Structure 1
Amino acid sequence: MINLLELYIKLVGLILVGVILGRKLPATFPTRLGQFLFWIGVPISIVAFLRQTDLSGQIWIAPAIAYLAILLGAFLAWIVIQGQAYLTNSLPQPSTQGSLILASMVGNTGYLGFPITLAMVGKEYFAWALFYDLLGSLFGAYGLGVLLATRFGNAGQNHGQMAKAIKAILINPALWSFGFGLLFRQVTIPPVMEFGLDTSAWCAVALSLILIGMRLSLLSSWYKLKQAGISLVIKMLLVPLILGSTLSFFGVTGEAAKVIVLQMAMPPAFATLVLAETFDLDRDLAVTALAMGSMVLLVTLPFWLWLF
């Protein structure tokens, strides 16, 4: 409970700082901070934390579970859409269907999942969260997510955006730093450099939470509450409950299982909003799901920690 209280103070405090700064600073500042974290901050934190994590055991199963969670979320959202069509003899607009499915399947396992994992489980099992995000969520968002977005979105821009999505995956510095970090684990560096690297990593974690607050401060849409609620029930309750109860069959138990459950229970990723804007999906639904999910997490997080 003490760790959870400390986490809440840090989470809420840093996000509130971001909300305040987001309303005071120029609108371009969050974009530039995001670019800094994307190209420098997050890669440094990945390299630093990889030096302190345990890579033994069945860690490679983490991305496989991530894909299962993504597919299960998309399938449950599709079931809900078909059920609505059966009961009401009407279907939501394709753009709304696309945003609902995306919000149900892709979670914020990086900017939000990483600091929560570090706070509640520690550095030793951080690699499980890292593998889940970089080898699972990333490809789920910009792989399957793009395919779904092209299916439900504006068909006029599909081919060019598909190429951009593939390029975004290939040049993603987080993936490259992940590979470099695995090699750099074997290199011995002076304690002063180790301390500087670790400090820089934690600063990047803090800045990522501030960035979330800054982005939330710019969200003004609260429409589509019903559809957003459906996607959050699927993403933050049903998927982690169903798959979390089966982790022992995959040989994942203890702290490793806790990390996987926390990653599965994260709210929708900002990538869902990026895809909604890029492919002309239902932006209002994406925005509402993001804002609601960030608040719902404060309620669901203690439940998952207690249950697992």
Structure 2
Amino acid sequence: MENIILIFICLVIGFILQKVKSFPQNSAQTLNQLIIYISLPALALYYIPKIKISTDLLYPIGVAWLGFGLAFVFFALLGKILGWSKKLIGCLVLTGGLGNTSFVGFPVIEALYGKEGLETAIIVDQPGSFIVLSTLGILVATYYSRGTANAFEILKKVVLFPPFIAFIAAGFMNILKYDFTNEMQIVFQKLGATVTPIALIAVGLQLRFERESKHWQFLTLGLAFKLLIMPSFFVVLYLFILKKSGVVIDVSIMEAAMAPMITGAILASTYGLKPKLSSMMIGFGIPLSFISLAFWFWILQIF
């Protein structure tokens, strides 16, 4: 429950700081860079060396990778048909394709499914959502933030993306069965813990409630995809096509129904992909997701 309270407090703090004239105007961009250069790499170095690789990971991991692929196909095709700008498409792919599988996901899953469910949620988040963000996410952000795509420039952005560098280092550590000392693990854990409060304050700093905003229709579409279409896809795929069941499958589907990922919105904002819309996807998506999650939990009890 404390995580949910922290979410709303940080959003409100950021929103209030908009009104403080002495507060630096570019604070949101500075906070975003802090997350990308320090907090996210610390998370990778803390969690990834501990992941145990097995075939049991396929279904939880599939939620992040297949879900992001679905978002890319959906919004890229729709954007091409309707003549959307590249920045709008990129924003919706990042915010609609990545779920808040950790900060919102962990406490919700633990409350509903206990420790067993939480173990699956961690798999969805780390080798799933986090790695998708650090690889495909930066690819999409780079491609859609530029007028013309340059393969070398995109590759350079990915390779030099701090969370990706940390992921590669942590991946080698996992293969070599090596981890940091307890003292260093605590340091990385505490640095990684700064992601959520800093990111949410940054989102609050960019959140606008404009009645006549041109973003409302895209916000509605983006949240409909993330909260309804994506989990529907995994219900059909996992339950009816693959005919799988159990706690691992239920948790995977619930994680697919989570609100947009905070750091996905931060990445979109950092690359200039409709910062206002990306902030609205978080500001409205998180509270609305508690309603949609109750619906999906009910659906899973039926099947």
TM-score, with normalisation over the residues of structure 2?
0.71
Q: Deviations over 1:183-212 (max 9, x none)?
A: 589xxxxxxx9xxx99x97x8898655445
Q: Deviations over 1:52-106 (max 9, x none)?
A: xx987722332234322111222222343355x3xxxxx2222222222332212
The alpha carbon displacement at 1:156 in A equals: 7.0
The alpha carbon displacement at 1:41 in A equals: 6.2
Stretches (4+) displaced over 6 A: 28-31, 33-36, 45-48, 54-57, 203-206
Q: C-alpha distance in 1, partners of 2:298/2:192?
A: 25
The alpha carbon displacement at 1:256 in A equals: 0.9
Name the structure 1 match of 2:20.
none
Distance 1:125 1:168, change over 3 A: farther
Alignment of 1:136-155 (within 5 A): 136-155=128-147
Conserved 8 A contact 1:267-1:297: yes
Q: C-alpha distance in 2, partners of 1:283/1:168?
A: 20
- The structure 1 residue matched to 2:236, chosen from 223, 240, 245, is 245
1:218 aligns with 2:205: yes
The alpha carbon displacement at 1:238 in A equals: 0.5
Conserved 8 A contact 2:117-2:248: yes
Q: C-alpha distance in 1, partners of 2:194/2:163?
A: 25
Alignment of 1:135-214 (within 5 A): 135-155=127-147, 159-160=152-153, 162-168=155-161, 171=164, 173=166, 183=177, 209-214=196-201
The alpha carbon displacement at 1:271 in A equals: 2.1
Name the structure 2 match of 1:3.
none
Q: Deviations over 1:94-126 (max 9, x none)?
A: 222222233221222233333333333233243
Q: Which runs of 5+ in 1 are unaligned?
A: 1-8, 86-90, 186-192
What residue identity is the alignment partner of 2:251? Answer: V
1:229 aligns with 2:220: yes
RMSD (Å) for aligned C-alpha atoms: 4.1
The alpha carbon displacement at 1:149 in A equals: 3.4
TM-score, with normalisation over the residues of structure 1?
0.70
The alpha carbon displacement at 1:128 in A equals: 2.6
Name the structure 1 match of 2:248.
256
1:94 aligns with 2:86: yes
Distance 1:149 1:129, change over 3 A: same
Q: Deviations over 1:215-248 (max 9, x none)?
A: 3322233441110110111122111112123213
Distance 1:230 1:236, change over 3 A: same
Name which of structure 1's ranges 157-166 and 65-74 shifts more when overlaid on structure 2: 157-166
Name which of structure 1's ranges 149-158 and 26-35 shifts more when overlaid on structure 2: 26-35
Q: C-alpha distance in 2, partners of 1:117/1:179?
A: 30
- The structure 2 residue matched to 1:119, chosen from 106, 111, 115, is 111
Conserved 8 A contact 1:67-1:137: yes
The alpha carbon displacement at 1:290 in A equals: 2.2
Name the structure 2 match of 1:277.
270
What residue identity is the alignment partner of 1:17? Answer: I
What residue identity is the alignment partner of 2:204? Answer: S
Q: C-alpha distance in 1, partners of 2:65/2:123?
A: 12
Name the structure 1 match of 2:260.
268
Q: C-alpha distance in 2, partners of 1:92/1:29?
A: 29
Secondary structure at the counterpart of residue 99 of structure 2: coil
The alpha carbon displacement at 1:284 in A equals: 2.4
Name which of structure 1's ranges 156-165 and 215-224 shifts more when overlaid on structure 2: 156-165
Q: C-alpha distance in 2, partners of 1:207/1:107?
A: 18
Conserved 8 A contact 1:19-1:216: yes
Distance 1:118 1:56, change over 3 A: farther
Distance 1:176 1:298, change over 3 A: farther
Aligned length: 282
Name the structure 2 match of 1:38.
40
Q: C-alpha distance in 2, partners of 1:110/1:44?
A: 14
